[in-house]
Structure 1
Amino acid sequence: MDWEPTRRSLHGVAELLLAGPQHRATGRIDLSVTDGGFATAAGPALRVEGAELVAGDTRLRLAGRTYAEVAAEAGIEAGAPAGVYSGGPGIRPDEPIVFAADVLAALVRAFTEGDRALRAFAPESVPILWPEHFDVAISVAEVNYGVSPGDGYVGEPYAYVGPFTPREGGFWNAPFGAARAVSELGDAAAIAAFFAEGRAAL
């Protein structure tokens, strides 16, 4: 499965069409995972459902169009949050959005299962989908727990445990802590169990 084109485009949607407009309106960049996609945590009310952007009562097709074209139809400005972080994907508003249906479904499922796992693992915490690295995560007692859609280290969606202070031992298999593919773990219960295993290994 070729993850990168769809992952990059979906990351661009999160950054340019949701987090950017939200930051310009409210100063916030945090997004929330929802059934079938993700949404702004504050105004304006924007969300992704599958391959569509929902802006109020308007549903807009994403694939095959540029971010700027979709934004204009939604009544927003396409652009990343300014002056907040420097490590984003570097996507331009005039780039086309490219989705492969099977990859898109797998990415959305990874976020959904990851969000459910985080809520089960740490009910007192609210998972946040961050637009910079495009992962849904929480921090508890100086440890990051989350699910990434994949990156240069692991090419497919994976769950991770990232202590602020590096650890050593059999569980810790990544430079940032520990990682395990979502395809290997399966559902939210298994992902939550992985988080619990990481907490026990600290």
Structure 2
Amino acid sequence: MNADNGPERDTLAVPAPPTRSPGRPRSQEADEAILAAALDLLIERGVAWASIEQVARRAGVTRATVYRRFPTLTDLLVRAVEWEYRDMDPGEMDWPDIDSMVTAWAEHLGTPRARKLIRRLYGTVDDLPELLHAYHKAHGSHRGLAVHTTLERARAAGQLPAHSDPEILQQMLSGAALHHLAAYPDTTGPEEVRAYFLAVLQQAGMPAAPTTTRSTAR
């Protein structure tokens, strides 16, 4: 016993009960089940057919459980979109050349679920723009910056014409991506998607084999 603490008491002190936040503790499993259910409904049926009741039923929880976490359906869907892209690493978008960039795009747009989700998000631009904003904040803005950087790098390396404008090319590629989502079936595989984007870029002046500089010596 430390002498500075004064004389020892005759009775043992009763430890204070542990403190906890008011209300029932939140369950991470319930959180993830709710977000996954909301995202699945958005992809499968769209915003017009999604509801808190349907999300609760699919997640196996009560409506009250959902409302405790998300006051409105919009709050829930926005969080679900953010959650979908939670593991995105901007460092993975540091593409060394156009071929790497197009390959990454093809892997993403060659996935039926990703294709359907993007179409659903762009379909909400008038009625629920918060969802598209959440997508751009969580994923699109990082990708946009990476695409612009890659195109500038490619132009400097001679993979694109010197007069090309990276910003215009970026807009052109974004438009091509939306066209592909609307006009091509979701069974289109990554190799076909990759060939599609390379063909678009070649129309903009990119050589057929842009990734390496080969010697022409005979």
TM-score (norm 1): 0.27
Identify the structure with bigger relative contact order (alpha carbons < 8 Å, sequence gap 6+): 2
TM-score (norm 2): 0.25
Q: Indicate the structure with greater strand content.
A: 1
